[in-house]
Structure 1
Amino acid sequence: MVFKSIASTGLLALSATQFAAGVLADAPTCPKDTPLSCSTSSEQASCCFNTPGGSFLQTQFWDYDPATGPSNSWTIHGLWPDNCDGTYEQFCDSSREYSNITAILKDQGRTELLSFMNKYWKDNSGDDESFWEHEWNKHGTCINTIEPDCYTDYTAQEEVGDYLQKTVDLFKTLDTYKALAAAGITPSTTKTYTLSEIHDALAAIHDDFAPYVACDGDNLNEAWYFYYVRGNLITGEYEPSEKLTQSNCPDSGIKYVPKSNGQESTCPNRR
């Protein structure tokens, strides 16, 4: 698995300018024998151990009506710290809830990140900024290893940029569209697929662990890839893991609807 060694650097999509500026330079580096998240219930929360949210989900959308993002790519939903039993905390720190994500990223010089988000992290109602704010405020504030005290030279909102960058970095390693296409699963108005076929195709890019996939009726529209993390969320090692949620898709007859220009969304409410 190539990804684990790359992800442990926490620098997958950073430009040379950002690296030189010290982005992530003060995020904790943890001992190699740090326990894997969810591996023990006795480990106390620290900047090197994620708890209670020790199962991390890189989540993606296939928005087809109305369509969002490129026609040959899924789009980002978020990065969620779920508890080890499939439950989750939410909106954990009201003092760090923000409504100016674009401004935060510009102030941090993360223009490449912002450009990528504008293309691949899309809201199905057209309000990308509010979507990003929601994901940080609801999920990002619940990650204990990126709290301000975990930084050695903390600057305001540093963890926000780090969280969004990590979400994008993970997304770039999980090309759901390409993985499905490699297995002959392509958007179609006539073809249908089985849940087993979809699971097998996506397990091929996730160390043989099938992600959770969701459907709106019979129509495929979400994928959640599960990980455990050894160490800090930003600098730690990500290990693919078994999904903790079972699909709501039927066993067969699943449609993979091509993206359209429809005006009414048929997708369910977002988490």
Structure 2
Amino acid sequence: MGKWESSILTKFVLVLSFATVSFANSNSGLRAFYLVQQWLGSYCNQRGTKCCYPPTGKPSPDFTIYGFWPYYRDGSFPYNCGDDNYDVGRIKFLETRLRKEWPSFTCPQIGRKFWVHEWNKHGTCSKSSLGEIPYFQAALNLKNRANVFKALARAGIKPNNRFYSLKSIKKAITRSIGFHPWVVCNHNAQGKSQIWQVTLCADKTGRKLVNCPYIPRGRGNCASKIMFPSFY
């Protein structure tokens, strides 16, 4: 397993440690999707983390898609649900949007392999509901509807390295988007608690936002006041 895959797997386990992750069970049934968005500044300023911009250069400040994960009725987050020889050429017409909304910041850059990884690990577990192209289209469309950056900006919450109450951040997102978010924090190199990920949910068709079937309480290591760091 490469360094990139190891890092992704580690973070996936940490974020979803509240649930038992299992391989796909044909009798489980898809219940919902978790749309996870991350703030690049909080991902890249962690101790020991190095980020590289995509070939298109430094993106504009925004939350970007971290993952689009199926959630099953039995409470599991399945992954690697089949050997799918995915042809990334199928989503070439989506690449402009994917580079902007769902980019990879790994070093070195891995290009299209990143989206192949996402499909093979997560998308294959939603094939009963979404095919290859609809899977990516659904994530992109939902991200545009759930614009976390704009929601926070409307409430005067900006990436200025200042501290904001966790309550005010959740309130701003809920008021703007209409659904309660699950906010996950991490710590920067100085050990300060900061906003990292925001999760919202979609129904099993991937077409509309819904209340998350399960949001763990007390997870994410968020302090009562957290920093919103500048963009990386």
Question: What's the TM-score, normalizing by structure 1?
Answer: 0.61
Would the aligned equivalents of 1:195 and 1:249 in 2 still touch at CA under 8 Å? Answer: no
AA in 1 matched with 2:78: E
Would the aligned equivalents of 1:196 and 1:251 in 2 still touch at CA under 8 Å? Answer: no
Moved over 4 A (4+): none
1:141, 1:180 → 2: CA distance? 33
Q: Partner residue of 2:82?
A: 93
Would the aligned equivalents of 2:151 and 2:177 in 1 still touch at CA under 8 Å? Answer: no
AA in 2 matched with 1:252: S
1:161, 1:144 → 2: CA distance? 11
AA in 2 matched with 1:90: Y
* Partner deviation per Cα, 1:161-220 (whole Å, 9 max, x = no partner): 12111111111111110001111110012x10121111111112332x321111112121
1:258, 1:67 → 2: CA distance? 16
Cα distance change on mapping 1:239 and 1:62 into 2, 3 Å:
closer
Q: Look up the SS of the partner of 1:254 in the other structure.
A: strand
Would the aligned equivalents of 1:220 and 1:249 in 2 still touch at CA under 8 Å? Answer: no
2:125, 2:82 → 1: CA distance? 7
Determine which of 179, 196, 207 is the counterpart of 1:221: 196
* Partner deviation per Cα, 1:121-156 (whole Å, 9 max, x = no partner): 111213242221121111111114347xxxxxxxxx
Post-superposition shift, 1:226?
1.4
2:144, 2:209 → 1: CA distance? 16
1:1-271 matches, cutoff 5 A: 52-64=29-41, 65=44, 66=51, 70-84=59-73, 86-94=75-83, 96-98=84-86, 100-101=87-88, 103-106=89-92, 111=93, 113-125=94-106, 126-146=109-129, 159-189=131-161, 191-207=162-178, 209-217=179-187, 218-229=193-204, 233=205, 238-242=208-212, 243-246=214-217, 247-260=219-232
AA in 2 matched with 1:115: T
Q: Look up the SS of the partner of 2:139 in the other structure.
A: helix
Residues matched between the structures, number: 186
Would the aligned equivalents of 1:61 and 1:223 in 2 still touch at CA under 8 Å? Answer: yes
* Partner deviation per Cα, 1:218-269 (whole Å, 9 max, x = no partner): 121111101334xxx26xx534113523441423231111112xxxxxxxxx
AA in 2 matched with 1:179: A
Would the aligned equivalents of 2:142 and 2:209 in 1 still touch at CA under 8 Å? Answer: no
Would the aligned equivalents of 1:206 and 1:240 in 2 still touch at CA under 8 Å? Answer: no
Q: Look up the SS of the partner of 2:29 in the other structure.
A: coil
Q: Look up the SS of the partner of 1:164 in the other structure.
A: helix
AA in 2 matched with 1:212: W
Q: Give aligned-pair identity as a percent.
A: 27
1:219, 1:86 → 2: CA distance? 28
Would the aligned equivalents of 1:192 and 1:252 in 2 still touch at CA under 8 Å? Answer: no
Q: Which runs of 5+ in 1 are unaligned?
A: 1-44, 148-158, 261-271
Would the aligned equivalents of 1:97 and 1:141 in 2 still touch at CA under 8 Å? Answer: no
**Which one has the bigger strand percentage?**
2
Q: Which runs of 5+ in 2 are unaligned?
A: 1-25, 45-50, 188-192
2:173, 2:73 → 1: CA distance? 22
* Partner deviation per Cα, 1:55-83 (whole Å, 9 max, x = no partner): 21111111113476633311112321112
Would the aligned equivalents of 1:85 and 1:244 in 2 still touch at CA under 8 Å? Answer: no
Q: Look up the SS of the partner of 1:72 in the other structure.
A: coil
Would the aligned equivalents of 1:75 and 1:122 in 2 still touch at CA under 8 Å? Answer: yes
